């Protein structure tokens, strides 16, 4: 089972119910780095183009408009191809 769950272009109603606009914002320039998720993170990409490569599993392409859940204990490499701006929620 993948530890990265992606919903492309979720409905505005779903985002409103989840309260996405009230979540903090994280930004990052184009870069490549290792990351380990100690806890589950859900995020909504406002901008960006990213390839996330799990240490075990297939790479996942993320873009603006994606609602993504990274499950706890995921170890991966982020390859940010265009600067990222995302809302995020931990836990």
Give the model's pLDDT for residue 70.
98
The topology (CATH level 3) of 4-90 is Jelly Rolls (2.60.120)
> Is pTM, for the whole model, over 0.75?
yes
Q: Exposed/middle/buried for 43, CB within 10 Å: 0-12, 13-18, 19+?
A: buried
pLDDT per residue over 2-20, tens digit each? 899 999 999 999 999 999 9
Spatial separation of the C-alpha atoms in residues 71 and 69, rounded to whole Å: 6
Task: Give percent of the chain above pLDDT 70.
Answer: 99
What does the domain layout of the chain look like in residue ranges? 4-90
In the predicted model, what is the mean pLDDT of residues 46-59? 96
């Amino acid at each position: 089972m993948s530890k990265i769950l992606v919903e492309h272009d979720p409905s505005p109603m779903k985002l409103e119910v989840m309260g996405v606009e009230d979540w903090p914002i994280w930004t990052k320039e184009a870069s490549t780095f290792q990351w380990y998720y100690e806890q589950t993170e859900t995020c909504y990409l406002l901008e960006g183009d990213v390839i996330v490569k799990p240490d075990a599993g297939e790479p996942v392409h993320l873009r603006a408009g994606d609602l993504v859940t990274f499950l706890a204990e995921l170890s991966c490499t982020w390859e940010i191809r265009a600067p990222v701006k995302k809302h995020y929620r931990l836990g």
